Amino acid sequence: MAFRLLRYVVRILERHRAEHPAEDRLPLVIPLVFHHGPSGWTALVDVAELFDVSPRLPGGLGCLPSMRFLLDDLARVDDEVVRWAKTPRRQP
């Protein structure tokens, strides 16, 4: 999922560049994953964790790409709470 989200963000930014070539800055893209599986989220949440890097490398190497996404793990929330949140509310 981390790698897939990185690809999505890059595509969004490439499209923005193509549509706005005169702009020097990129828009902020905030990747967010909602998870509601039978168990809690166990996959990685940062692209940097996907790289096979030797622990002997200096800690300050600083060249790994990193993109941590926000995760709302609904598997850790009681189903009744999730159902309540989805229920349409009447306007006062």
Give the N- to C-terminal CA distance of the chain in Å, as an integer. 40
pLDDT in tens, 22-76: 999 999 999 999 888 888 888 888 888 888 877 666 665 667 777 888 888 877 7
Give the CA angle between residues 47, 79, 92 to the nearest 5°. Answer: 105
- 85 pLDDT band, cuts 50/70/90, is low
Query: Does the pLDDT value for residue 92 go beyond 60?
Result: no
Q: Which residue carries 């890097």 as its tokens?
A: 53
pLDDT of residue 58: 67
Buried b (16+ CB within 10 A) or exposed e, 72-83: ebbeeeeeeeee
pLDDT of residue 27: 95
Query: Does the pLDDT value for residue 91 go beyond 80?
Result: no
Better-predicted residue by pLDDT, 88 or 6: 6
